[in-house]
Amino acid sequence: MIDPISLMKIKSMELRAKVIVEGFWKGIHRSPFHGFSVEFSEYRQYTPGDDPRHIDWRVYARSDRYFIKKFQDETNLRCYLLLDHSRSMGYGSGSYTKAQYAGTLAATLAYFLFTQGDAVGLATFDDRIRQYMPPRNRPSYLKRLMLGLEAQPEGGATDLGPPLQRIAQMLTKRGLIVLVSDLLTSIDRLETDLGYLCAGGHDVVLFQTLDPAELHFDFDTPAIFRDIESGRDMYIDPVVAQKNYQQRLEGHLAASRATCQSLGIDYHLFATDRPFDLALLDFLQDRMRRRKQIHRAGGSRLGRAI
C-alpha cells in the first residue's frame, strides 16, 4: 500500500492512477487486459465539425463523398464520475486538499475502468455543472479525463440538487455513477438530490471524502474559523466546541448513510489519509457484492467484469 502523502507528490494524475491500479493488480494477481469489440452501426454523411478521423476513406474512394463510419460500442459499463468541486472540497489540513484526493480517487477508478475497457465519463459540479465529458473508451480520452480531474475547485457552495438533477436528465443510458463529494450540505434535501440519480436506474456509488481534521476536529487553540464557502467568521474554542461538533457530524454521517441505504446507494466514507488501494478494494468488493445480489435477484446485468 502506498501512503497517500507520498503518492500525492506525483504530479501527473494519470501516473498517480497508474501506480495505484497496477500496484493493486499485482496485489491480486489478475490480468487487467481484456479485449472489447465495437460493432459497425451506420454511415452518415460528413458534416463540418465531425472528427475527420472517422471518415471512411474507402467509401470516399468509391463514391467521392465523405461518410462518417459510426460504431455502436459494446462497452459493458458506462461509468459516470461525478466530482464535487465546491469550494469546501478545496480544504485540506495536510499537504493536499480533499479535491485533490477525490480527483486521484476518481482517476484511479477511471484508469482501472479504462483498463477494463469500460467507458468513463466525468462531470464536475458545485452548485451547477462546471464541466461535462461524456463516457468514452479511447486511450486518448483518458488523458483528457485526467486533465479534467486535475482542475481545482473554484465553485461556490455545495448544492447537490440542481447539478444532479441536470445530470440525471443528461444520462440517457443507464450506467454506474460514482459520486465523490464531502456532502457538506443540508441533509434534508440529500435524499431528494440523490433520488434524481437513482430514479434513472443507475447504480450509484457514493464516496464521501472528508479531511481527518473534519472528522476529528482536533484543533488546539481558539481561533476565528472562517467558512471556506460562505466566508463567514466565527470564534470557536475547539476544546469547547469539539464534543458538540462530533455529535453533529456523527448525526450528519449517520443520516447520509441511512439515506444512501434507503436509496440503494453504496456509501463509502473516506478520510483523505486513507490509502487509495483500500478505496479501490472497497469499491471492488462492493461491486462484487452488488453483482451477487443482482445475480440472486435475476436482475439485468450492468457490468461484465465488475
Partner 1 sequence: MSFLYPLFLAGIAAIGLPILLHMIRQHTRHRVTFSSLMFLRATMPRFRNRSRIENLPLLILRCLILCLLALAFSRPFFAKPIEESEGSLGKRIVLLVDTSASMRRPGMWTQAINQASSALRDIRPSDRVCVMTFDRDVQTLLGFEQWEALDPAQRATAAIESLSDLSPGWNATNLGAALITAAEAIEDDEVNVQQQPVGSRQIVLVSDLQQGSDIDALRTYEWPQGLALTLKAVASPGATNAALQIVANRDPLAAPSEDERTSIRVTNSAEATFEQFQLHWASDAATSEPERSVDVYVPPGNSGIVRTPEGLDAGSARRLILTGDDQDFDNTLYLAPHLKQQINILYLGNDDPNDTKDTLFYVRRAFSATGATRFSVTAQRSDAPLTDADMDAAHVVIVTDAIGQDDVATLRRYLERGRMALLVMKSEQAGDALARLAGAGNLEYREAEVNRYAMLSRLEYSHPLLAPFSDPRFGDFTRVHFWKYRGVTLDNYPQARVLAWFDTNHPAWFEVPVGQGTLLVFTCGWQPADSDLALSSKFVPLLYSVLEYGGVLTGRQLQYFIGDPVPLSFGVPPSDGSEPRKRGTPNAATVVRKPDDSVVSLDATEQAFTQTDLPGIYRVESAGGERLFAINLAPQESRTDPMPIEDLENLGVVQSAFGGPAVANAAAVAQAKRVNDLVRMEEQQKLWRWVLVLVLAVLLVETWLAGWLTRVHPVETQDLASPPSPGEQ
Residues near partner 1 (CB under 8 A):
88-89, 91, 98, 182, 184, 211, 213-214, 219-230, 232-241, 244-245, 248-249, 252
Q: Closest approach of Cβ 252 to partner 1, in Å?
A: 7
Q: Closest approach of Cβ 197 to partner 1, in Å?
A: 23
Alpha-carbon span 102 to 222, nearest angstrom:
29
Strand partners, 71: 40
Q: By the 8 A CB rule, do 70 and 50 touch?
A: no
How many other C-beta atoms can be found within 10 angstroms of the C-beta atom of residue 27?
Answer: 12
Closer to partner 1 by CB, 180 or 204: give it. Answer: 180
CA dihedral 94, 98, 101, 106 (to 10 degrees): 180
Alpha-carbon span 246 to 291, nearest angstrom:
35
Closer to partner 1 by CB, 38 or 240: give it. Answer: 240
Q: By the 8 A CB rule, do 158 and 141 touch?
A: no
Closer to partner 1 by CB, 165 or 242: give it. Answer: 242
Closer to partner 1 by CB, 23 or 90: give it. Answer: 90
Residue with cell string 483500500: 278
Burial pattern 35-49, b for ≥16 Cβ within 10 A else e, equals eeeeeeeeeeebeee
Q: Closest approach of Cβ 237 to partner 1, in Å?
A: 4
Q: Closest approach of Cβ 179 to partner 1, in Å?
A: 18
Closer to partner 1 by CB, 153 or 200: give it. Answer: 153
Q: Closest approach of Cβ 225 to partner 1, in Å?
A: 5
